[in-house]
Chain A
Amino acid sequence: MSEDPKKSSIVEDLKVPWYGYVALILAIVFFSGIFAKKAGWVAAFDFNTINGAFGTMKDAAKATFAGQGGYGARAGFLFALGLIPAVMLALGVVEVIDHLGGLKAGQKLLTPILRPLLGIPGIAGLALVTSLQSTDAGAGMTKMLRETDYITEKEKTVFCAFQFSAGGTVTNYLSSGAALFPFLTVPIILPLVVIFVMKIFGANVMRLYLQRFAKED
């Protein structure tokens, strides 16, 4: 059996940075379990410690399926799994509202107030409503508005200041944010209102800054 020349050249060309060996040693330590019974900071190098534990049904009246007293990756997994129904329900409803023209209605109501609110023309309404659903789609539409000269460079910057803080607001609030809804001490609409107020406030700070310090584009 002759050795495959290709194979041997791969082995010779294999360059490993020094931290590659450190990483390998750390990985072996992490999965070996040698620090399994240790307390203190070295416990962070034990797979099982970081993997954690599922909670248990200590108190059937209070415990959800995730149980109580879980920790680490396992607790996080069950916790996240518990969020998914809320996200599916929320995005399902948003999709239906969009289908029924609810978002178009929002755009129509928004168009006449965009100039006083953010100093941008009403034509940006669709991009604004879109940006609340998807950061990427909003960014793409904003670029288009600028390229077709519907908005000026300053208006674009102000508009991006609005979008940049709490990007994809509605989708992110109803998906990621939904994880925290069960713990809120206020109705879930209230934090969302605060988010919107601050988004508009922040964009207007940018608007003032540009008015004062930026030369016309």
Chain B
Amino acid sequence: MQTKTIVDVFVDGARKGWNVGISSILPNVLMAFALIQILKVTGLLTILGKVFGPVMALFGLPGEAVTVLMGAWLSMGGGIGVAASLYTGKILSATHVTILLPAIILMGAQIQYMGRLLGTAGVQTRYYPMLFGISVMNAVIAMLIMRFVA
């Protein structure tokens, strides 16, 4: 095996980071910012905020935060992007973002991982609803925990 210096190894890792950033994070974040812009100009963001206000208040969050969780369910990058967009738009505060971060990761990208993880590992489909439920429950409990430490 060829010996690599630590510098080479670091650069390899940094290159992976560049690839993740350019091919995954940037398109997802851009999509999320565009989506939030659409929700804003159509007024749907305000409506979502009002409808989900009471539920999200349990976690110390404004109703609009529900869009972060919806986005996360499809892709983690999407959820993160939505949160960042709402933060730069001053709809979410730093505390709100702190409450949301573990939840975004815990219930993130489940549609993708259904195929990439559960499908690959051959988990019996009868357990799928339970597995989805556990991830959402994990996210909910995490938001309650974060509410008290954020």
Q: Which residues of A contact B (CB under 8 A)?
A: 40-41, 43-44, 49-52, 70-73, 75-77, 79-81, 83-84, 87-96, 99-100, 135-136, 138-140, 142-143, 146, 153, 156-157, 160-161, 163-167, 169, 171-173, 175-177, 179-180, 183-186, 190-192, 194-195, 198-199, 201-203, 205-206, 209
Contact = CB atoms under 8 A, between A and B. Distances in A.
Interface in B72-100: 76-77, 80-81, 83-85, 87-89, 94-95, 97-98
Contacts of A73: 30, 33-34, 37
Contacts of A190: 149
A164 B105 contact: no
A130 B18 CA distance: 21
A72 B33 contact: yes
A79 B101 CA distance: 17
Contacts of B137: 202, 205
Nearest to B145: A194
18 contacts: A71-B37, A71-B40, A73-B30, A87-B17, A87-B25, A89-B14, A92-B17, A95-B16, A139-B117, A157-B123, A160-B131, A161-B130, A164-B134, A165-B135, A183-B94, A184-B94, A186-B149, A195-B142
B106 A195 contact: yes
B86 to A, nearest CB: 11
Contact of A175 (B6, B20, B98, B150): B20
Contacts of B37: 44, 49-50, 52, 71-73
Contacts of B117: 135-136, 138-139, 160, 163-164, 167
Contact of A184 (B20, B22, B98, B134): B98
Contact of B121 (A89, A99, A142, A171): A142
* A interface secondary structure, majority: helix
Contact of B134 (A140, A161, A183, A185): A161
Interface of B: 4, 6, 9-18, 20-22, 24-26, 28-34, 37-38, 40-43, 76-77, 80-81, 83-85, 87-89, 94-95, 97-98, 101-102, 104-110, 113, 116-118, 120-124, 127, 130-131, 134-135, 137-139, 141-142, 145-146, 149-150
B138 A88 contact: no
Given A202-B135, A206-B134, A167 B109 contact: yes
A71 B14 CA distance: 29
Nearest to A145: B121
Contacts of B29: 76-77, 79-80, 83, 179
**Which one of A41, A43, A139, A163 has the highest number of Cβ atoms from chain B below 10 Å of its Cβ?**
A139
Contacts of A136: 116-117, 120
A183 B101 CA distance: 10
A96 B25 contact: no
Given A81-B26, A156-B121, A198-B141, A165 B87 contact: no
Given A179-B84, A198-B142, A99 B4 contact: yes
Given A49-B37, A72-B37, A139-B117, A172 B88 contact: no
